[in-house]
Structure 1
Amino acid sequence: MSLRPDESALYVGRVMHQRLRPVRHRLDYRLFSLLLDLDELADLDRRLRLFSLDRFNLFSLHQADYGDGRGLRAHVERQLAAAGLPTGGPIRLLSMPRILGHAFNPLSVYFCLRPDGVLQAILYEVNNTFGERHGYLIPVDEAEAGGESIRQQCDKRFHVSPFLGLDMHYGFRITPPRAGRAGLVIGVDASDAGGVLLHARLDARRRPLGDAALLRVFFTHPLLTLKVVAGIHWEALKLWTRGLRLHARPAPPATPVSITKARDP
């Protein structure tokens, strides 16, 4: 049975983080995310008992947790227009939902398609533990849009970890959700002048999104969002005790999204 790319879905997998220097440090944990077609949100709110839009439930998605807080599609389409890209196509958000009202997403990813269904850009939205948020919108190279994987890069503009400075850049390697593909991969390398400093990777498998599946992951991944926040602080404490230098927190960027221009053909 093929998987339709225009259906919202559940993705279950693992996340790995590995710091390469000046000390080596690795962690990995189980995680699940929802891939939500923004045009299906109202229907999911009506159809699912355990998922709600902008109101409390066992699982929920609150638009105030994303972008400028004034509506998901409107926010993303403003960024697409600013990048000179067409609007009106499907937009699919990969993110952890609120669980019993609590949410924290270190990274949410929007797959932005043209009206004809071709992937045209990816928006990476980063949250830090200081309550700040910033996005990176990167056009997809047309030669890669229909391929197995996508490679992108951008300069770092937003403070995330106190153990990493701003003079860095990101490299992304993405295997996006697509018809007939059961898996999804998001790889991120954070590099400085000395090369790759930190590598992170999400590997997840697609499952149908329904109440039974949501109830199952609630018990197999209990209090996931709280565990993510606790894990971030615990790992930071371990790095601090190993003598890593702290970087001062700079002011956040003046604009909510940094836009990378498309490469010339």
Structure 2
Amino acid sequence: MTVFPGRRPARPGPPALYPCTIIHVRRAPQRYTLRHRTYLWLVDLDDLPVLPRPLARISARDHFTGRAPSIRAALDGFLDEHGIDLRGGRVLMLAHARILGHVFNPLTLYWCYRPDGGLRCVVAEVHNTYGERHAYLLHPDTAGTATAAKAFYVSPFNPVDGHYEMRLPPPGEHLRLSIRLQRPGSPPFTAAVHGRRREATAPVLLGLALRHPWSTLRVSAAIRFHGIRLFLRGLPVQPRPGHRTPESAS
């Protein structure tokens, strides 16, 4: 029985856990591949699971500006600034939870649905290792593919130019996401996430926590470690423009 969503019996859909592999591939000026394993939560923003601290915690302070009373309120505020009203439609969020007091979410995804169940839009919330956040509003096609101009400094080796091509189908039994950064005159930088759904039960969470201890800390540490390796290989660092996360993180 699923023990996390309140005290109700298990049901199909979220909350769910996705043990996954994340792969980053840089092709120029040096080919470099980063690969690590972790696990992600899929939750319904209107029905957040009751999670066992300190193994997992999903908090509004870790998303958008961190000042809204709930993640749903923060997301609705962001959508309202873009003229979108979900009219109470469901929102599914894929993200890391806070573990042992630490969280780092390079990418949080929100699939936003109309009341009739149709997908209205997707919001991709990006965090960099400088403590900054930015949200992209996306309108995927029927295959889950969307594009967006890059507007946020993420890697110190890529300037803020080019555009993203994202394939973000809603998670089901399998999780298959991909992001390709296209820049003028450069081969694409690609990232992919592959995983398989597991029921969010206490034994499953405990097993994943033991298999991937300090998983979010390991993600942020791996990004910094590989960044240092690339720097030592002579990859030039691009200047970071000033970025302020606005009230709605647009």
Q: What is the TM-score with the length of structure 2 in the denominator?
A: 0.89
- Number of aligned residue pairs: 236
Return the match for 2:193 from 202, 206, 210: 202
Cα distance in 1 for partners of 2:195, 2:187 equals 23
Contact 1:79 1:137 in 2 (8 A): no
> 1:254: how far off?
6.5
Cα distance in 2 for partners of 1:103, 1:244 equals 28
* Structure 1 residue 140 corresponds to structure 2 residue 164: no
What is residue 67 of structure 1 aligned with on the other side?
64
In the alignment, structure 2 segments of 5+ residues that lack a partner are 1-10
Give a deviation string over 1:223-262, Cα, whole Å, max 9, x none: 111111111111001110111111111011564444xxxx
For 2:228, what is the secondary structure of its paired residue?
helix
What is residue 105 of structure 1 aligned with on the other side?
105
> 1:175: how far off?
2.6
30 and 227 in structure 1: CA distance in 2 versus 1, 3 angstrom threshold: same
Query: Between the two proteins, what is the percent identity of the paired residues?
Result: 36
> Which residue type is aligned with residue 58 of structure 1?
L
For 1:246, what is the secondary structure of its paired residue?
coil
Superposed, 1:124-203 pairs within 5 Å as 124-141=124-141, 144=142, 149-177=143-171, 181-203=172-194
What is residue 92 of structure 2 aligned with on the other side?
92
112 and 196 in structure 1: CA distance in 2 versus 1, 3 angstrom threshold: farther
Higher strand share: 1
Contact 2:124 2:136 in 1 (8 A): yes
Give a deviation string over 1:33-59, Cα, whole Å, max 9, x none: 000101111xx22xxxxx25xxx5221
197 and 129 in structure 1: CA distance in 2 versus 1, 3 angstrom threshold: same
What is residue 31 of structure 1 aligned with on the other side?
38
> 1:101: how far off?
1.1
Contact 1:157 1:253 in 2 (8 A): no
Cα distance in 1 for partners of 2:168, 2:127 equals 20
Cα distance in 2 for partners of 1:242, 1:173 equals 31
Contact 1:189 1:196 in 2 (8 A): no
Root-mean-square deviation (Å) = 1.6
Give a deviation string over 1:167-203, Cα, whole Å, max 9, x none: 12111012312xxx41011100111112543100001
What is residue 78 of structure 1 aligned with on the other side?
77
Deviating beyond 6 angstroms after TM superposition, the runs of 4 or more aligned structure 1 residues are none
167 and 253 in structure 1: CA distance in 2 versus 1, 3 angstrom threshold: farther
For 1:175, what is the secondary structure of its paired residue?
coil
93 and 246 in structure 1: CA distance in 2 versus 1, 3 angstrom threshold: same
> 1:63: how far off?
1.0
> 1:79: how far off?
2.4
> Which residue type is aligned with residue 71 of structure 2?
L
> 1:139: how far off?
2.2
Give a deviation string over 1:64-85, Cα, whole Å, max 9, x none: 0001211211111122223333
Cα distance in 1 for partners of 2:178, 2:203 equals 29
> 1:155: how far off?
0.7
> 1:110: how far off?
0.8
